Structure 1
Amino acid sequence: MKKFQIKPRHIVLALSLLAMLIAFMVYTVCVSGKYSYTENVGAKHLEADQVHAKSSDETVAKIVSVENYTEEGNNELKVTVEGVNPGDCVVTLAYRSPENGQMLVRTSAFRVLPIGVVYDLTIDSFTSLKAVIPLGVAAMLLIVAVLSLSFREKQRNGEFYYSMVIIGGIILFLLLNVIVTLTDSQLWSRFGEAVTIKDILALIVSSGNRFVMFSEIPVIMVAASLAVSNIWLVVKEGFRLQNLLGVVIAVLVAGGILTIRLSDNYSVIQPDALYYFAMLANIGVAFLLSYFECMFLSTMFCAVASTRYNPPYDMDYIIILGCAIRKDGTPTPILRGRVQRAYDFEQEQFQSTGKHAVFVPSGGQGSDEVISESESMKRCLMEMGVPEERILKEDRSVNTYQNMAFSKTVIEQDAGDIYTVKVGFSTTNYHVFRGYTLAEKLKMRVKGLSAKTKLYFFPNAFVREFIGLLWEKKWKHLLFIFLFFAVLLVLYLIIRY
């Protein structure tokens, strides 16, 4: 299996992100020696002698100015504090209300850091923090650009492995969050104001909700089409539970969206027990739904792309993945389609390059089968004119993983080394991507050949393969979900308290 290589674009990405971080730190040191905050004092203008501001320790921070200005019909007091030496102090702002003459006092706690940055302890903010949002958007766009190049390269080279799904899911999640952030007029209308750390954390925590909100309509359309295809499948093939997987997906999607909508106002729910339950339901379901939406949509794209890929005409061996045969030992239409696709490709390869490939029909004999699947495929190939010496049977496997694993052994016994030969595999279109992921698990470099199936059969079969893929990587998914939930919980507790 080809090892991961650090490519120039990965180095550029790492250096660019590092440069952004350094630029932010330099910017922070340059501009955050002063900090301004505002106080709304009502509709009437305040005179200078009506406002008094004082620092509890001017050797730590001093008041530079107190300005009175009008903003959208309201009078605002803008207090600017400048750091002097590291330490803590409290700034007291006292003014007489122009509305009723009552004396009002407001206090804010500040800490001057050793690098001279004035940190507002009251709301957890400093001057340069407002640059985090545009900088974060730029960083996400840069990551999306680099990952898109990697995704495109894998597609072009026929490397349809699980890493491609991960890359596609990250691209989708980041891109939609960038779009939602850029189009959030309320967020950008407050850009000139103080941005707090809690604001930033709230954006991160709500990323799942933003993704679900933006993708809601297309995802509902996909879920509805899966449900419709299942109805079509039941009409054509009869009622079976496995023919209703698309309906199950549609119900889960609809239930998840409904749960998010019903728990949207969890912040006003009382008592605390119900509040935490609604909060976890809202944030948790939104994250799970967005996570599996990204996985599903990315897998769907990768699966479709894998069926449209045209392998190069340089195959030494072509594995044909088995499936059930008829009672008389002849291939079913699905299995015959796989054999035909392998044969057609081999013929095209020979006509194009003059190079023949060896066929490896793979599949054992089930308890209800008169011969092995591999023997059935071998007979079919020989009927097509393939000489027996160019057919290597693998007749021990009982599932797709064993198809690949035992076929690898057969090829190694014939060729000596699996890594010195070119290997393809032929299977039905909905099954191609799964074949790639299983080959990756076995450290095999393969190229898939896609055999067509009935249109109404494809969506449900693909859902079944997707569920199989999730189950195959279940521990990675569970670990990622656990870690993400732990991070979300910590971030939310910081925001809350």
Structure 2
Amino acid sequence: MAFVPSLIFSIIYLLGAFGVYKYRKQKDDPDIFFFESCWTIFALLIYLAVLELRTGSFYILIPILLGSLFLVSYRRNKHRLINGLLFNVFILSFGGYLIINLFRTEDILVGGLLAVLLAIFLAVLLFGLVTLVIFLYWNSLVVFRRESHSIANLLTLLLAIVLTIFLFSDVLLHPFPQWVQVLFGIAPVSLLYLFIVFLNFLSVSILYQFNHPRYDQDFIIVLGAGLLNGETVSPLLAQRINKAIDFYHLQFKAKKQAPRLLMSGGQGSDEKVPEAIAMKEYAVSNGIPDGEVLVEANSTTTLENMQFSKEVMDALKPQGYKAIFSSNNYHIFRAGLYADQAGVNADGIGARTALYYLPNAFLREFVAILFMHKKRHIVVLSGIVLFYVIAALLQMYFT
């Protein structure tokens, strides 16, 4: 009868999940997944806490404390890279807790949950570095066929080449002296460091996709992007505007008060009109009243988007306001960092991007964020280089 508690919990959980779905559906809420996730986490914690009480142990407090630390940090400021690190540490502690709990209780539900986590881990191992390299080459070919041939669009290819060299490093280094092989240790350790940083960045970027702004906004800043033929809204930019338009209609339906759209984007050297003007024309042609669309046409970078948009909003509502910004899903986390720098208290909503473009886009965002915190990374990587240079010198002169 050990399965009875798991069965009862499963029934309660499914009923609760159905109730959440029906309630949010009645509210015309597009983010049902967010609330379903909250219900899942809450129900699971209650179930695990009951198991702990039955066994008289308190191991669950470790992941709860680490999870609480992450939630406090994330709630205070969603635009922090350390949130990714805290989340990953929480996941590791939770996995360890499930292993301990399974051996103590032999609970079917805990075993199933652990099996899912182990399956994900094994999939990563099975489809490891070699498969990643093959995927990167394939993706770079797709991007090469569909996008412009700029350096920014070749990042997956460059990463694939670097990883290919790394895979064959043992063969390539075999003829060289031992001290050269020691010196090459810089590469795997540096790659490991950058992988951990990237994993933290990717985790917090994915978490940020579940941002759920309330329907009480005064402004939606729409971040500009390049125009087609210097005057037409591109498909990528249209996605950003459409995301803002969708939120506009949802808020009006929920609260009968719509936010104003603030189009932000200047005129590039190869553009006939400022991006913001073209964006406004697109929004108006898609049913947004002309008076509800504001224009900021002087910015040339994301930081300036935020700074100049803040000036517009401050002038219109000096007593205070609520705002969000709209961009593509891969870009909203870095845009949030710039919002913080500009003193804009706003979270982002992300428009969907073609799947084939996401690997390259996230790599580009990662490189940009590395440069935003270049001093920190230079110090760490310099320490790695110094350590292996000293080790190579010792190998050269004392063996």
| TM-score range normalised by the length of the shorter chain | 0.5 to 0.7
Letter in 2 for 1:386: I
Check if 1:381 corresponds to 2:295. Answer: no
SS at match of 2:347: strand
**Matched residue, 1:459:** 359
Deviation track 1:109-152 (CA, whole Å, cap 9, x = no partner) reads xxxxxxxxxxxxxxxxxxxxxxxxxxxxxxxx999875544445
Match of 1:277 among 170, 173, 180: 180
Task: Please say which of residues 386-395 and 345-354 is displaced more in the overlay.
Answer: 386-395
CA distance in 1, matches of 2:382, 2:64: 28
User: Which residue pairs with 1:445 in the alignment?
Assistant: 345
Map 1:96-495 onto structure 2 (within 5 A).
146-152=65-71, 159-167=78-86, 218-237=128-147, 239-259=149-169, 274-282=177-185, 284-327=186-229, 329-416=231-318, 420-483=320-383
Alpha-carbon contact 1:155-1:305 (below 8 Å) kept: no
TM-score by length of 1: 0.54
Please report how far the alpha carbon of residue 230 of structure 1 lies from its aligned counterpart in structure 2 after TM superposition.
1.5
By relative contact order (CA 8 Å, sep 6+), the higher-ranking structure is: 2
Give the structure 2 partner of residue 184 of structure 1.
none
Show CA shifts across 1:51-89 (max 9, x none).
xxxxxxxxxxxxxxxxxxxxxxxxxxxxxxxxxxxxxxx
Correspondence for 2:26 = none
Q: Please report how far the alpha carbon of residue 390 of structure 1 lies from its aligned counterpart in structure 2 after TM superposition.
A: 2.8
Name the structure 1 match of 2:32.
Answer: none
How far residue 488 of structure 1 moved from its aligned partner, in angstroms, is 7.8
Bigger Rg over Cα: 1
Deviations 1:467-486 (A, max 9, x none): 11112221121123334556
**Counterpart code for 2:380:** F
Judge which range, 438-447 or 398-407, deviates more.
Answer: 438-447
Quote the RMSD (CA, aligned, Å): 3.9
Offset of residue 396 of structure 1: 0.7
Tell me how far apart the structure 2 counterparts of residues 449 and 456 of structure 1 sit (CA, whole Å).
21
Amino acid across the alignment from 2:367: I
CA contact (8 A) 1:226 1:460 kept: no
Residue 468 of structure 1: SS of its match in structure 2?
helix
**Gaps in structure 1 of 5+ consecutive residues:** 1-140, 179-213
AA matched with 1:479: V
Once the 2 structures are TM-superposed, how far is the Cα of residue 223 of structure 1 from its aligned partner?
4.0
Q: Is the 2:265–2:296 Cα contact (8 Å) retained in structure 1? A: yes
SS at match of 1:341: helix
Is contact 2:267–2:274 with CA below 8 Å preserved after alignment?
yes
* Helix, strand or coil at the partner of 2:248: helix
**Paired residues, what number?**
310
Q: Which deviations, in whole Å up to 9, do the C-alpha atoms of 1:298-354 show, x marking residues without a partner?
A: 222322332343322222211100011233723111111111110111110121123
Contact 2:263 2:280 in 1 (8 A): yes
The code of the aligned residue for 1:412 comes to D
Tell me how far 1:158 sits from its aligned partner. Answer: 7.7
162-171 vs 249-258, which moves further: 162-171
Q: Tell me, what secondary structure is at the counterpart of 1:343?
A: helix
Contact 2:266/2:275, CA 8 A, preserved across alignment: yes
Relative distance call for 1:441 and 1:479 in structure 2 (3 A) is: farther
1:151·1:167 contact (CA, 8 Å) conserved in 2?
yes
Deviation at 1:433, TM superposition (A): 1.8
Which letter does structure 1 place at the counterpart of 2:78? E
Separation of aligned partners in 2, 1:485 and 1:216: 31
* Residue deviations 1:252-272 (CA, integer Å, cap 9, x gap): 223334437877x9xxx99xx
The one-letter amino acid paired with 2:80 is Y
Give the Cα separation in 1 of the matches to 2:252 and 2:72.
27
Query: Identity over the aligned pairs, expressed in percent?
Result: 27
- Is 1:169–1:295's contact at 8 Å kept on the other side of the alignment? no
Contact 1:256 1:289 in 2 (8 A): no
Indicate how the Cα distance of structure 1 residues 165 and 143 shifts in structure 2: closer, same or farther if over 3 A, else same: same
Q: CA deviation at 1:281?
A: 1.9
8 Å contact kept, 1:397–1:403: yes
Contact 2:179–2:393 (Cα < 8 Å) also in 1:
no
Deviation readout 1:215-249 (Å, 9 max, x if unpaired): 79534434432321111122333655443210111
C-alpha separation in 2, matches of 1:146 and 1:488? 37
Superposed displacement of residue 487, structure 1: 7.0
**Counterpart AA for 2:203:** F
Alignment of 1:71-110 (within 5 A): none
Larger fraction in helix: 2
In 2: Cα distance, 1:285 partner to 1:308 partner: 35
Q: 1:168 to 1:250 in 2, by over 3 A?
A: farther
SS in 2 for 1:392: strand
C-alpha displacement of 1:278: 2.4
SS in 2 for 1:393: strand
More strand by share: 1
Give the C-alpha shift of residue 490 in structure 1.
8.6
TM-score when scaled to structure 2? 0.66
Q: Which amino acid aligns with 1:255?
A: I
